[in-house]
Amino acid sequence: MADFGAMLSNHIPALVMVLAGYVLLIVEMYIPGFGLAGVSGTLLMGGGIVLMHPTPLQALVLVLISVVLLGIAFSIAMHSIAKGRLSKSKLVLNDVLNSAKDDSISDLDYFVGLSGTAHTVLRPAGIAEINGVKLNVVSDGDFIDAGKPVTVQRIDGTRIVVREAETVKEGK
């Protein structure tokens, strides 16, 4: 094991690379991004270990130490995100998405029975304008050309199902 200590003291630049890589990986845990810090950190750690020219056993020990230390740092980061100071920052989304049984979806029931016009061709999905509101709708069966009158038949979850409205022809 004395050989291991001598290897570390003889390779200070490689050790600095490993430590810089470790710091970059911890930064990646705390700051959301595109992985630039994580990829750079991994490359620095790997490059530092390779520059030390360790024996396979020494390389395995270095990798295991790195993995254990990163695991500890990751658990601290997760604890901080869940309950620590980081959970109160703007980096963590604390809002909860409403479930399908929420009132916001039942508000779509307002449109049932109302009429409007197809804003785009419904094949069978498209956009209709109902009471001045453009909505994503699905036709109940047939294609409906743009500009045709439509009536909201029902709400299926978050889908608004429409049918072409019967037009009353004058003079007949």
How far is residue 116 CA from its own chain's centroid? 36
Contact call for residues 87 and 80 (beta carbons, < 8 A): yes
Rg for the chain, CA atoms, rounded:
31
pTM above 0.85, yes or no: no
Q: Determine how many CB atoms are found less than 10 A away from the CB of residue 47.
A: 14
Q: For residue 172, what pLDDT band results from cuts at 50, 70 and 90?
A: very low
Over residues 70-89, mean pLDDT = 77
Residues 6 or more apart whose CB falls under 8 angstroms from that of 141 comprise 124, 163
Amino acid at 28: E
Contact 118, 152 (CB under 8 A): no
Across the chain, mean pLDDT equals: 80
Each residue of 15-30: pLDDT tens digit? 899 899 989 988 888 7
